Amino acid sequence: MGKNLFLILIVISVLSILANSCSPDTFVLNKYEGDNVIYVRMLNGIGKTEKINENSLEIKPDAIVSLKFIEETQFIDEFNLTLKSGNGVSLYLYTTEAEFGEQKNIEVNLTTAGYKIIKNEEMIAGSDSIKLELNKNYRIKIQQEGNLLKFSVNCADIIIQVSKYVSNEYLIFQTGRTSEIQIDGITKQEN
Amino acid sequence: MKVKKYIIGISSLISLLIFFVGCGSITREEKDAFTITEIDTTFTNFVKNSPANKDNGTVFPSSKEVLVERNLTQRDSEYTRYYPDFIRLGFFESIGIVTGNTDNGIGTGLFGLFPMDNISQSFRGKSGKTFAGGIYRLGIGEWRLRWFRDAPNWTYGISLFEALIPDAKAEDILTAIYPFYIRKRFYLKETIPYVSVTPSLGVGLLPSQYLNLSVSLDGGSIGGFNVRAYLGFAVGYNSKATPQIKNNDYIHSDKTISFPYAGLGVSFLDFLNIVPETLVEWKDYQHSSWELGLIEMSLLTTNSKKSVFGDTTNTSALSGFDLQIAKTNIAIPILDNRFYVGTSLIRFLGLGRNTWAMAVMPIRVGYWHTLVEDELTTTPFLEFGYYPSYYINIGGEVNLRISDNVNIGLKGGYINGDSGNILGGSLVNNFGIANTFSNLYFGVSLRLIDDIFFEHQLRYNRRDLPKEPKIYK
């Protein structure tokens, strides 16, 4: 009896570890927030993103991370972005996890030198006055409305037309080789 | 009794845990939602002329009116991709093992597959058997184990049932439902058929409790067929409650068993994926076979004197049957890929009373031809059965695909051979004496869990395969 129990306990312990080892490249944010669930997936290897709490994550250097807002294709998404180290981050919209390598339709490049919005590999907007500073908190708002995309950094709004692009559930982050960012306070509203 | 219930509960919990945490699926679905926005502007021209003459100009403007309407239409759509989500999924594996016991050999031969000549409960084996025992697994599944920071090619898995049989003595047999295994594969060849060295550690809980440590050289899979060479060591315990002790005519006390082993094994309908294959959609999966099937049942009319269904003169059209388990026909990549080589785990042909044949792993060669794309195929073949019955079978089939997993067909042929006198027992009681035979046959077949593939599905006909999985750097 003692021997059996010992064996069973070992196996249960091992299986509990395994249950947590089956998909280490994904986690869920806002799990208990009803329709506000966000699936986070590390696209280029595990360990490049850490969940801080139910509503915050830290994206480490050299990471490609997708946030999937389940079945929300016309969302208003707001979050705080803090650059912890390095010189910036790129956000990709109108592309999916599966298409990311082939289509980077809208890229918002936020760096310590300014911002650039690149549409289909062509720069359509940019400024060196709206820029990130290390360890400073920025409120980012992304609003998709029909063929318009409204992008806000704190109080600065940038509106661009995105006709002919198909909107989807994804927001993809890519950090540089030394950049590390923290995202928290993610709120999502239906448009 | 309480302990037994407890162990059953724990085993069930473990199996449920594996499947319901989402780690143990066969197909992974990825669903993306999209919204397509279309903006359209329509111009409508109206000219409302008054019935009387009217001067146009600054005071009298044109009667033409233009109505401009801007429409914004949004359409939602969804796209679902399906990916294989397992590293290994197998129906049956059999290994013939050498354990050092030369007195109580079970006698199932190379690969542990060939029928024993004595299946009574009191059988204690025979001396002089090289392969004294066997290891058998039914319903095998393995999934990716992403531990040690996603170290490559680790898997965990279970079987529905496993038996480690070092010799013919029942008290030495270790059996388990849902034995749990951890494996690590070191690939020597990463193209189909894969070759790998695979160390593994297995734990069985019920009814025996055991550990099985082994390393194997694996070849496969191709068409679900694999060959493996094993070295291992098993240690376990059979309590008095195990069926091996409870129903034993010789021993009634619990027993601890340990044995080293070396063995050769084969497995059927046993599919192995490397990790990149699990990142490519099912529609781009690499198929090497023309046909893969679990069960094929046929009713035959033959020219035998008596029907297999009764010891009477054969007056009915129904005189025999044909049963095949785990059939595979693997395409040979020459001459338009239409020639194939195939085998089955077991084939039993009851052509009539005193006219029957049984073959384990018969060898089949044939030619595959599609008559109607995605529906109707035909195949002439030559099959050679060598043990326990010996026969040569020349035949042909016409197969109609009913669904992805069900097919029906017509078959006919000529078979010549000898039943073999090594089986005896209930087979002779049911089907008559072992005899030489020479028969024509014709019949209808039903194939369940049977996939027939067509030209466009075969990997040799698809230049775009293997698809590279999307891996971001």
Q: Which residues pair with B363 in a beta bridge?
A: B384
> How does residue B119 score in pLDDT terms, banded at 50, 70 and 90?
low
Please classify residue B263 by burial: count the beta carbons closer than 10 Å to its beta carbon, then call 0-12 exposed, 13-18 middle and 19+ buried.
Answer: buried
CB contact under 8 A, A17 and B147: yes
Neighbours of B64 (CB within 10 A): 11
Residue B8 has pLDDT above 60, yes or no: no
Is residue A4 included in any domain, yes or no?
Answer: no
- What residues of A are in contact with residue B203 (Cβ under 8 Å)? 7, 11
Residue bearing the bigger pLDDT, B319 or A7: B319
Q: Which residue, B89, B91, B453, B86, is CA-closest to B268?
A: B91
Is residue A71 included in any domain, yes or no?
Answer: yes
Q: What is the mean pLDDT of chain B?
A: 86
CA distances from A145 to A73, A91, A126, B46, B398 (A): 10, 18, 21, 33, 58
When CB atoms are compared, the residue of B3, B13, B150 closest to A46 is B150
Cβ partners under 8 Å of residue A141, min gap 6: A76, A77, A78, A150, A151, A152
Kindly identify which residue of chain B lies nearest to residue A170, measuring between CA atoms. Answer: B32
Window 129-188 of B: residues touching A by CB (8 A cutoff) are: 143-147, 149-150, 156, 180
CB contact under 8 A, B21 and A22: yes
- Residue B63 CA to residue A125 CA, distance in Å, equals 45
> How does residue B433 score in pLDDT terms, banded at 50, 70 and 90?
confident
- Residue A55 CA to residue A67 CA, distance in Å, equals 12
CB contact under 8 A, B21 and A19: yes
Q: Which residue, A60, A25, A41, A57, is CA-closest to A169?
A: A41
A98 touches chain B (CB under 8 A): yes
- Residue B363 CA to residue B329 CA, distance in Å, equals 10
- Residue B323 CA to residue B412 CA, distance in Å, equals 14
> How does residue B248 score in pLDDT terms, banded at 50, 70 and 90?
confident
> How does residue B354 score in pLDDT terms, banded at 50, 70 and 90?
confident
- DSSP-derived letter for residue B308 is T
Query: Please, are residues B83 and B20 in contact by the beta-carbon 8 Å criterion?
Result: no
Query: Could you list the residue range(s) of the whole structural domain that residue A57 is in?
Result: 25-190
CA distances from B395 to B169, B186, B209, B442 (A): 42, 42, 48, 9
Is residue A85 included in any domain, yes or no?
Answer: yes
| pTM of structure | 0.85
Is residue A143 included in any domain, yes or no?
Answer: yes
Closest approach of chain B CAs to the CA of A18, in angstroms?
7
- What residues of A are in contact with residue B208 (Cβ under 8 Å)? none
> How does residue B15 score in pLDDT terms, banded at 50, 70 and 90?
low
Torsion sign, CA atoms B189, B195, B200, B204: positive
> Quick one: pLDDT at residue B64?
81
When CB atoms are compared, the residue of B21, B74, B205 closest to A7 is B205
Closest approach of chain B CAs to the CA of A73, in angstroms?
6
- What residues of B are in contact with residue A98 (Cβ under 8 Å)? 30, 32, 81, 470
Residue bearing the bigger pLDDT, A165 or B20: A165
Mean pLDDT of B333-345: 93
B241 touches chain A (CB under 8 A): no
Q: Which residue, A174, A144, A184, A136, is CA-closest to A161?
A: A144
Residue B310 has pLDDT above 50, yes or no: yes
Residue bearing the bigger pLDDT, B328 or B58: B328
Mean pLDDT of B222-251: 88
Neighbours of B373 (CB within 10 A): 10
> How does residue B4 score in pLDDT terms, banded at 50, 70 and 90?
low
DSSP string, B40-103: EEEEEEEE---SS----SSSS--SEEEEEEEEEEEEEEEEEEEEE--SEEEEEEEEEEE-S--S
Cβ partners under 8 Å of residue A76, min gap 6: A141, A142, A143, A144, A188, A189, A190, A191
Residue B304 has pLDDT above 80, yes or no: yes
Instruction: Identify the residue whose tokens are 């397992």.
Output: B86
Instruction: Please write the tens of the pLDDT for every residue from B131-187.
Output: 888 999 999 999 998 888 888 999 999 899 999 999 888 888 999 998 989 999 999
- What residues of B are in contact with residue A101 (Cβ under 8 Å)? 470, 472
Window 20-79 of B: residues touching A by CB (8 A cutoff) are: 21-23, 30, 32-37, 39, 72, 74, 76
Encoding tokens for residue A66? 């997708």
- What residues of B are in contact with residue A163 (Cβ under 8 Å)? 37, 39
Kindly identify which residue of chain A lies nearest to residue B21, measuring between CA atoms. Answer: A19
Residue bearing the bigger pLDDT, B123 or B370: B370
Burial track B288-315 (b if 16+ CB lie within 10 A, e otherwise): bbbbbbbebebebbbebebbbbeeeebe
A161 touches chain B (CB under 8 A): no
CB contact under 8 A, B37 and A146: yes
- Residue B108 CA to residue B113 CA, distance in Å, equals 6
Q: Which residue, B366, B374, B436, is CA-closest to B399?
A: B374
When CB atoms are compared, the residue of A21, A64, A73 closest to B33 is A73
B5 touches chain A (CB under 8 A): no
What fold is seen in the domain B284-459? Answer: Porin (2.40.160)
Is residue A13 included in any domain, yes or no?
Answer: no
When CB atoms are compared, the residue of A12, A21, A147 closest to B37 is A147
Kindly identify which residue of chain B lies nearest to residue A43, measuring between CA atoms. Answer: B472
Query: Please, are residues B125 and B74 in contact by the beta-carbon 8 Å criterion?
Result: no
Cβ partners under 8 Å of residue B137, min gap 6: B90, B92, B93, B159, B161, B162, B267
> Quick one: pLDDT at residue A102?
81
Kindly identify which residue of chain B lies nearest to residue A17, measuring between CA atoms. Answer: B147
A17 touches chain B (CB under 8 A): yes
> Quick one: pLDDT at residue B117?
66
- B100 torsion bin: left (phi>0), alpha (psi -120 to 50), beta (else): left
Residue B431 has pLDDT above 80, yes or no: no
- What residues of B are in contact with residue A60 (Cβ under 8 Å)? none
- A47 torsion bin: left (phi>0), alpha (psi -120 to 50), beta (else): left
Is residue A66 included in any domain, yes or no?
Answer: yes
B84-279 to CATH, choices 3.40.50, 2.40.160, 1.10.8, 2.60.40: 2.40.160
Residue B286 has pLDDT above 80, yes or no: yes
- What residues of A are in contact with residue B76 (Cβ under 8 Å)? 73
Please classify residue B28 by burial: count the beta carbons closer than 10 Å to its beta carbon, then call 0-12 exposed, 13-18 middle and 19+ buried.
Answer: middle
Encoding tokens for residue B207? 């009814």
Closest approach of chain A CAs to the CA of B211, in angstroms?
10
- Residue B7 CA to residue B272 CA, distance in Å, equals 31
When CB atoms are compared, the residue of B17, B149, B472 closest to A19 is B17
Window 105-144 of A: residues touching B by CB (8 A cutoff) are: none
Is residue A7 included in any domain, yes or no?
Answer: no
> How does residue B20 score in pLDDT terms, banded at 50, 70 and 90?
very low
Residue B468 has pLDDT above 90, yes or no: no
When CB atoms are compared, the residue of B33, B37, B205 closest to A11 is B205
How many residues comprise chain B?
473
When CB atoms are compared, the residue of A45, A64, A166 closest to B34 is A166
List the beta strands (DSSP E) in B101-244: 133-144, 154-165, 174-177, 180-184, 186-189, 195-204, 209-222, 225-238
> Quick one: pLDDT at residue B22?
54
> Quick one: pLDDT at residue B59?
65
What CATH number is attached to the domain comprising A59? 2.60.120.560
- What residues of B are in contact with residue A3 (Cβ under 8 Å)? 209, 237
Q: Which residues pair with B431 in a beta bridge?
A: none
Encoding tokens for residue B35? 């919204």
Residue B437 has pLDDT above 50, yes or no: yes
How many domains are there within chain A? 1
Is residue A175 included in any domain, yes or no?
Answer: yes
Residues of chain A with pLDDT under 70: 1-11, 13-21, 191
- What residues of A are in contact with residue B18 (Cβ under 8 Å)? 15, 18-19
Domain with CATH 2.40.160 in chain B: 84-279, 284-459
Query: Please, are residues A171 and A91 in contact by the beta-carbon 8 Å criterion?
Result: yes
Q: Which of B2, B78, B146 to mutate to test the interface with A (most CBs of A within 10 A)?
A: B146
Mean pLDDT of B188-216: 93
Kindly identify which residue of chain B lies nearest to residue A9, measuring between CA atoms. Answer: B10
**Using N-to-C axis directions, what is the helix angle for B2-20 and A2-19, rounded to 10°?**
10
